[in-house]
Amino acid sequence: MPEKFLDHDTWNYETPKSAKMTAIELDPIFGVFAYDGKRNPGFRSATSHTVWLTYRTPAHDLLPQVGICESAAEAAVAYDVLRSPETYDVKFQPLTVHFDFDGKPREYTHDLLVTFRNGYRRLIFVRNGTSLTKPKTWREIEEICKATPRTAANDMIVVDADHYTRQRWDNLFRMHELFQQPDDEADEMVLHAALNLKTLWQMHDLFPRVSLSQDRVFRACYRLIGREKLLTNLDHVILETSRVWLPS
């Protein structure tokens, strides 16, 4: 067999290495603002989970814009931030900084920049729990903070990605999708029914109390949970039998 071929089935058990491909570039989409990050993390990969999404914020008059996340955990944090009514704008990969770390030049692009309605700006650093147990990671974070201009944001927080379980991520994704399909009438009717139902225990208790189709009521419940006007356990699958309650 010629030397340039590797017989992976019989003797070479390592994962075949493929050549690195260029990042995916989206063509302009009519009616959608283009991705405006400082770095495009949209590379094809066999190990990482890049997430592409459209999102709406008051900063762009609720018109859709493209966002790209380098991991599912980063996307979960973005979905969590976007569901808050206090969020005015979200930027993905908004700023790249340069610094020296362990004697070597490094660069880092921040994950998210959130602007709240009151003008407060916050950078978000997302990393998995195992990494956050290492002193080296915190030394790196410290250097990133030093290299970040004070004018970039009011503060920076570190988010443990392990807080976002697979089911929580899935629930946040579904909420985000339903926020793109507003139904104010259904939301108001379901919330009114919830506020006046003293025996509220499970989601399906609301179905006979609202003169809408079960599908519209279910979607409204999801949106109300996303806005925290109804509460449930986000680490469980949200179903008609889910335990729901009103905020205190």
Per-residue confidence (pLDDT) for residue 40, from 0 to 100: 86
pLDDT digits (tens, 9 = 90+) for 169-213: 999 999 999 999 999 999 999 999 999 999 999 999 999 999 999
Residue 200 structure tokens: 């509220």
d(CA 224, CA 140): 39
Window from 24-28, 75-79, 104-108, 215-219 with minimum mean pLDDT: 24-28
Stated pTM of the model:
0.85
Q: What average pLDDT does the segment 26-45 reach?
A: 83
CA distances from 156 to 23, 40, 131, 177 (A): 28, 21, 18, 27
CA distance 31 to 11: 53
Hey, where are the domains in the chain? 51-163, 181-226
How far, in Å, CA of 38 to CA of 21, rounded? Answer: 19
How far apart, in whole angstroms, are the C-alpha atoms of residue 220 and residue 140? 43
Q: Strand, coil or helix: what is 30?
A: coil
Is the pLDDT at 5 greater than 70? The verdict is: no
Look at strands 96-101 and 104-109 and give their pairing. Answer: antiparallel
Q: How far apart are CA 48 and CA 128, in angstroms?
A: 13
Contact 142, 152 (CB under 8 A): no
**What architecture does CATH give domain 51-163?**
3-Layer(aba) Sandwich (3.40)
Neighbours of 216 (CB within 10 A): 16
Q: Which of 49-53, 177-181, 219-223 has the lowest mean pLDDT?
A: 49-53
